[in-house]
Structures are given as C-alpha cells and as structure tokens.
Structure 1
C-alpha cells in the first residue's frame, strides 16, 4: 500500500479530487486530499495574511499528524509551489513528487516569477476595493466545459489570497534533490507546446507524461489521471 496526498491548486478545495480518491483507494492505497486554509469549508479563514507558507504548514501538519512516510505528494497547478516547499521541509517523508500541470519553482521564486501572466491578476486586484483577493479563473480557462462538470466545479471555486502568488518559496535543503519526480502535463485543447524538460531545475531527472485533458484533469479525466498516478508507485 502506498500513501497519496493530493494537494489542490489556487481557488479550488480538496473536494476537486473526489472523483480520483475512490479510484486510488479501490486499488488499496491510503489517500488524503486536504482542503487548504481559506478554501472550501474554511473559506471564512481567508485573509490577506494567508499565503504560500500557510498552505505549506497545512500539508506538513497533515504529514506529521498522521505520521505519513514514503508519500506520493501530488500538487496541481499552483500547488507545485506547495509540494516543493513541503518536500524541502520534510524530505524524509516524501517518496515521490508529482507535478500535475503544475509550477516547478527554484529557490526564492514566487508564483509570479514562475508564471509571469499572473501579475495581471495582481494588478487587477490592486485596482479593486479588495487588493488582497484574487477572484477565481473561469471553468473554461481551467479546461472544464461540460455543463455538469462546470456546475460541480463552481460549487468549490473561491477567491485566492494575493499573498499566495507573492510569497517566495524556500528550497534550500539539499535532500530535496534526491526525491524522484514525475511531471504530468495536460495537453488537450492547447496550442503546440515545446517538449517538457526531463531535468528539474535542481538537475534531477524526471519522468514526463501527458494527459489528453484540460488543466483540471481531476474534474474531467479522473480515471485517466488515477491510472497514471498508480503507475508512479
């Protein structure tokens, strides 16, 4: 049995993994899909001080509280920042990192450094009455178009804190470089993209896989995603 921890990206909640969790559990694995502070049922906790460090603490607390080891730590989208930082803090508890269409930062980068177009969201927020709030992206932007999927996704999308995109990640632990990693790229309905690098910024070789799905593959292609995640172990 392996242990999966599935970390949602910005604006989402742990509920976004509801179609994937049972597939991994049915294969005999332990699965955790936490909701990060300020999302889902804890939306009332969202505030200007919530940021990347908050989310890293959420996941580290889960790993330590349940004494989880040899974890397959999966991060979607923005959560690539989170899982990198978690692995930097507790590398001995991580068996494999999976970047699901996710950011893969180097030490000291912010989410805006990794994805410069995100600065446009921050600029728009700064011009609003609530400069620390970032409204969610549209389901279509996330690759979700079927009406039933859109309706479900919209029940869980909430605002994100600007601080999450502005806070630099800390990745100075040499042990981070010894953790195996897999990139899962969601490629459906996208312009041609250059081949993914087979080396992480820290020089560690990675496996690269592609999914014929939009960005939110856990919503639109849960079975295909689960099959790839099961291959990791």
Structure 2
C-alpha cells in the first residue's frame, strides 16, 4: 500500500496538512508531513546555510531512515521544487509525484526564475537578520494572500507561519541523475485561479501530467478544501 509524504510550501510547515493527513489516515494510509529545516516547529534551526538542497535532503533523509518505499510524494507551492529534487535523488522509492498548485522546475531553474512576478516583490519585502536573508515575514491578513478566508482557518494559519530563507528560492535546482525525476508518473492538482492567470509556458507545465485535477479555491488548497484534496490523493493511490 502506498505511503504519502506531504511536503509544504514557503513559510509553512508540516502543520498545514493536518486536515488532509487526518482524512488519509482515516482511510488506512500511512502519512508523513515533514517540516523543512528552519520553518514551523523547526524554526529554531534557522541558519545561513539553509537552501533548496537542505530541504531536498530533509525529505530524502526522512524516506531513507523511515525505510519508505512506494511513496506518493506530494509538494505544495515551493514544495514542487523540493519534491522534484527528491525524485532526482531517490526515484526508486517513489511511485508518483503530485504537484499541489506547485512549482514545476527543470534542472538549473530556481523559484526566482520560474515566478519572477511573485518572487521580486517577495524579496523586496524581506529583511536580513543575523546574516540570514528572510522573506515571507508573517503579517496580519497574510492568510488572505494564500486564499484562506474562513476566520478560524485564518487565525490558525497566521499563528503558525514563519519567515523563509531567501536562498531556498534563489538557488537553482541541481539534478544529479539526468531525467530520473521526469520519468516518474505525475499528477497535478491545480487551483482554478492559478491556471487562469499563469503565463502560457507555466500553464503548460501545470497540465503536464498523467492526471490533472482542478479545484476552484485559494492557493492553500490543503487548508481550504481538504476533503477534495484527500479524495484526489486517494484516487491517485488507487
């Protein structure tokens, strides 16, 4: 039976998948929701060396030390960068990749390159603290940026968001094993707004999968539409 590994996006943590994970576990599935180094409950580990490679290694190490095989590896937003790198390193452990309204990088591309319209203002609003350039500083109303409108969800999310090291967004994806990551089956779960407003090339990548789902909701679909996301993930698992 497939195991789910759910990777969060920028400024978030494994906590953001609580609603989805609860539903997947109720269906009898094993679920891991790692928090990437320097974020969420691991914010105390923040340091100047954290970059995309660090976060790829976080997930590779989880899968290796837990002995996970037949993994459905899910990435939200920036998490699409991470899971593509993980798939490059340990393709043999992965059954399928699932991109949740996520980045779809190729080798040599960074999130800064893929989404300049979002990343340029994000960096402009950053701050450097103890020699670490940090972006996505939480502010009141930030949950709205992620498409969250329910007051309870807004309060819950904003209490947990943390700043994110810029190096993660600026570092290009480094592939070590050719096209290994791109030979794996992949599913896309896109938000309608993202599809409608993406440039043509980005939209083509958002639909470049063996399966494509669409949900008319905000960017943090695992919080706003957990039932729909969990149902789609269970369909992927079979």
TM-score by structure 2 length?
0.89
Within-5 A mapping of 1:133-212? 133-136=134-137, 138-173=142-177, 174-187=179-192, 196-197=203-204, 205-212=209-216
Corresponding position of 2:41: 41
Corresponding position of 2:76: 76
Q: Report the structure, 1 or 2, having the larger helix content.
A: 2
Aligned length: 228
Deviations 1:87-127 (A, max 9, x none): 000110111000000000010111101111202222332xx
Deviations 1:42-64 (A, max 9, x none): 11111222111111111000000
Q: 1:123 to 1:61 in 2, by over 3 A?
A: same
Corresponding position of 1:123: 124
**Contact 1:198 1:207 (8 Å CA) reproduced:** no
Question: 1:80 offset after TM fit, Å?
Answer: 0.2
Aligned to 1:47, the other structure's residue is in SS state: coil
Deviates more, 1:206-215 or 1:102-111: 206-215
Q: 1:22 to 1:135 in 2, by over 3 A?
A: same
Aligned to 2:145, the other structure's residue is in SS state: coil
Aligned to 1:43, the other structure's residue is in SS state: helix
Within-5 A mapping of 1:15-54? 15-54=15-54
CA distance in 1, matches of 2:85, 2:7: 12
TM-score by structure 1 length?
0.90
Deviations 1:23-71 (A, max 9, x none): 1111111100011111122111112221111111110000000111110
Q: 1:198 to 1:121 in 2, by over 3 A?
A: closer
Question: 1:155 offset after TM fit, Å?
Answer: 1.8
**Contact 2:188 2:209 (8 Å CA) reproduced:** no
CA distance in 2, matches of 1:96, 1:190: 22
Determine whether 1:113 maps to 2:113.
yes
Determine whether 1:132 maps to 2:136.
no
Find the partner of 1:226 among 224, 230, 234.
230
**Contact 2:37 2:54 (8 Å CA) reproduced:** yes
CA distance in 1, matches of 2:35, 2:181: 24
**Contact 2:190 2:206 (8 Å CA) reproduced:** no
**Contact 2:51 2:167 (8 Å CA) reproduced:** yes
Unpaired runs of at least 5, structure 2? none
Aligned to 1:219, the other structure's residue is in SS state: helix
Question: 1:175 offset after TM fit, Å?
Answer: 2.2
